[in-house]
Every structure is written in C-alpha cells, then in structure tokens.
C-alpha cells in the first residue's frame, strides 16, 4: 500500500547505514541541506557528518545529490567548496521546489536511477518526506539539526513537528 509514512526515522542522517540501505535496494541518495546535512544557522559539516557523507559517497559513487528549497549566498559558497572536496553528483535548488515532485525527478535524472531505488533524506516532513513520496521514492526523516529557518519553514514547523511525532516509535525511533 502506498503511504506518506517515512520508510526510516532517525535522529541524524549519520545513523543510516549505507550497507543496510543497499540491502534494501537503495542505489542513490538525495539529501536536504539545511538542518539535515548541517544546521541552518551554520554552513559547515561537523566531523561525524563529513565522515558519514564520505561513507555514502563510497557506497553510492556518483549517486548522491542535494535538493534544497533555498540557497543563501553563504550556503552556496560553502556548498560549492563542499562539492569540490566531495564528489556529490548534483544540486537542485530553487524557491519552494519541495514538496512538488519535479525537483526530485530532476535529481533522479541527474543520478540516472529510477525513483523507487532512491532514498530522500530530510528533516522537514512537509517538504522532504512528502515530496519524496509524491515522486515515488523511499524516505528517511531526521530530526532538525538547528532552529534558524526561513519564514515559510518557521510558520510550518509546528504542524510539521506534530505530523513527524506521529511517526516516531517511542523506543526504536523506527516507523514500524
């Protein structure tokens, strides 16, 4: 049955094991930027996040992309530096692209992988998870890393938090 329920629920993206994802049929990863890869009020990866991202890039060579709704100038500078250091396949950005599936489908074309073989990782249910599900992809919901967000996200966050809380199992953090 098709559902809007996230396939994985974790505190941080670093908890997702690449080998387990491969075993589940995942061949590519699309990841959100703000509050998923790094806190929205910073523009750097902490060492644990960088190590995890490098692990993903080893497991999914040429099959990791970033999809983000906004890209401030300071974020763009850091992201281009990151793209030079890490072989991310692509970047899809624009105002309010998510939760529409078009940005996810564009990333799928960049990755050359069909939607059911892609995992979308993000902290915002109403954008990342809903968009990934509308695009026919697997999804992983993370807790947000920071609090600083744009106006739309700030206004929608209470509803988003309420929805996301209904998917967290009290002991395991898994949706099942």
Q: In the chain, where are the structural domains located?
A: 22-165
pLDDT for residue 68: 82
Where do runs of H (alpha helix) occur along the chain? 18-23, 47-59, 73-85, 102-111, 130-134, 151-165
| pLDDT, tens only, 103-142 | 999 999 999 999 999 999 999 888 899 999 999 999 999 9
Instruction: Domain 22-165: state its class.
Output: alpha beta
Task: List the structure tokens of 130.
Answer: 């809903």
What 3-state DSSP class applies to 141? strand
Per-residue pLDDT band for 73 (boundaries 50, 70, 90) equals low
pTM of the model: 0.84
């Amino acid at each position: 049955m098709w559902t809007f329920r996230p396939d994985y629920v974790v505190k941080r993206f670093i908890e997702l094991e690449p080998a387990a994802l491969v075993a589940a049929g995942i061949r590519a990863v699309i990841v959100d930027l703000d509050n998923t890869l790094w806190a929205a009020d910073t523009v750097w990866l902490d060492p644990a996040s960088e190590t995890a991202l490098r692990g993903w890039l080893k497991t999914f060579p040429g099959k990791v992309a970033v999809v983000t709704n906004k890209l401030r100038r300071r974020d763009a500078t850091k992201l281009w530096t990151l793209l030079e250091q890490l072989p991310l396949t692509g970047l899809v950005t624009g105002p309010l692209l998510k939760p529409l599936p078009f940005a996810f489908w564009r990333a799928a074309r960049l990755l050359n992988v069909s939607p059911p073989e892609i995992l979308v990782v993000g902290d915002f249910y109403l954008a990342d998870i809903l968009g990934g599900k509308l695009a026919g992809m697997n999804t992983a919901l993370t807790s947000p890393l920071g609090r600083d967000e744009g106006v739309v996200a700030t206004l929608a966050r209470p509803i988003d938090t309420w929805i996301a809380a209904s998917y967290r199992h009290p002991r395991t953090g898994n949706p099942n």
